[in-house]
Chains A and B, each alone.
Chain A
Amino acid sequence: MSDNGFDDIPGTILFDAERSRQGYHLNMFCMSLMSSDNRDTFRADERAYLARFPMTPEQQQSVLDRNWNRMLELGGNIYYTSKLAACDGLSFQNIAALMTGSTQEDYAKMMLEGGRSPEGNRSKSEWNRG
């Protein structure tokens, strides 16, 4: 992934083959939350439920911490982690705000004002200057 350009896009975690292999069980855990019975079991004892899936300790911890960016770095995909968010009663916009380190109010305001501009957000070199 180092020489194809995607790695230079700041704040963006591409769900490529390597992450998909790494994150398979993390994502399939999230997928299991499509069933309301599974959601109830998970809520009752998160650690016990997570132990059913052969995830790494880091992946399990990222789920317990609800560290949404870390889950993506460890192979999670947003359409899967959003199922965990839905289980927690959070919307796509809620977790987007969390992943950007913004408050809900500030994030919603940014979107109403036209969203995050691509200016200054195309290359990691632009994020590292400050």
Chain B
Amino acid sequence: MADLIAGVATSHVPAIGAAIDLGKTGEAYWQPLFRGFEPSKKWIADLKPDVVILVYNDHATAFSLEVIPTFALGCAAEFPPADEGWGARPVPVVKGHPELAWHMAQSLILDEFDMTIVNKMEVDHGLTVPLSLMFGQPDAWPVQVIPLCVNVVQYPPPTGHRCYMLGKAIRKAVESFDRNLRVVIFGTGGMSHQLQGPRAGLINRAFDTEFLDKFTTDPQSLVRLPHLDYVREAGSEGIEMVMWLIMRGALADDAKEVYRFYHVPASNTAVGHLILENPGLPQRRLAATEQQMSNPAVDAREEVVNHVVAQ
């Protein structure tokens, strides 16, 4: 049986991908951000998942206004990185897991989530930046990836509650797959940011902090948050945070936060990052992980505060 063992939330800012691809990660502007992901890279290298279900949004790349699926599941064997107007990112082709993806599609549709099945799709920074943040720059990605594309560009996106419930159905689908696979789910996008209009540049640290605080232990208080609140408080593109709730719904109610990082800015965006583990992971790993995680997390938070104050 496949096991859904952990969740990762992270922003997917395109400028982060550009910084990695252009070798700028050591620059003063970027160094604090990338340092915040070092423990995460160690964590996932140790965890060695077989498959990542990667929840993200397409940014007018694979889909345009011609077709706007609310939830699209990538069932192909591979997904090439897209040319988003400045050449494709120099990252490996993303290998899918068609058997599990098709199993999920069937299970989700029979569970009354009307998924769009996608057999041909290029993937943009929304998917490849989280992979780069977690896995660095390998010759081949060390996991198979099932893309789950959510519309958050055309209003209205799905509600937070719908996303959360989809997450629960995803867990059921994964755990009814008759193969021994270790599966991690990524929820990406956010946190507060607004890319458009005279109010561009909005960052709401208080909103983001409360979202991070409630996400693991009290997600019920977030799932009914209206779209209006996201847009007003976290910016027009802050609405992407509903995608994190798919990840949360897919994990156990008593999943545990083992790492947190927050940093402002990456270009126009507040970067948020969480790692959650389901109960049942070998205790040895969990303990080791906590030990590895706790200090860097605190350092990272101090770093962020210092960074902002120093500027």
Contacts and interface: CB of A to CB of B under 8 A. Distances in A.
Interface of A: 4-6, 9-17, 20, 24, 27-28, 30-31, 33-34, 69, 72, 77-80, 82-83, 86-87, 91-93, 96-97, 99-101, 107, 109-118, 121-122
B155 A16 contact: yes
B89 to A, nearest CB: 14
A31 B15 contact: no
Interface in B217-271: 228, 231-233, 235-237, 264-265, 267-268, 270
A15 B86 contact: no
A114 B308 contact: yes
Nearest to A112: B311
Interface of B: 14-15, 59-61, 64-66, 83-86, 153-156, 192, 194-207, 228, 231-233, 235-237, 264-265, 267-268, 270, 308, 311
Nearest to B307: A112
Contact of B197 (A13, A27, A107, A115): A13
Nearest to B86: A86
A87 B86 CA distance: 8
B242 to A, nearest CB: 15
A91 B267 CA distance: 9
Given A28-B64, A86-B85, A10 B199 contact: yes
Nearest to A4: B228
Say whether chain A's binding surface is mostly helix, strand, loop, or mixed: helix
Contacts of A17: 155
Contacts of B205: 114
Contacts of A4: 228
A73 B214 CA distance: 35
B197 A111 contact: no
B265 A115 contact: yes
Contacts of A14: 155, 231, 236
Contacts of B14: 92
A16 B192 CA distance: 20
B196 A78 contact: yes
Contacts of A107: 201
B201 A110 contact: yes
Nearest to B124: A79
B155 A15 contact: yes
A107 B198 CA distance: 12
A28 B311 contact: no
A33 B204 CA distance: 33
10 contacts: A12-B196, A12-B199, A111-B267, A112-B311, A114-B205, A116-B201, A116-B203, A117-B204, A118-B233, A121-B199
Contacts of B233: 118, 122
Contacts of A92: 14-15, 195, 267-268
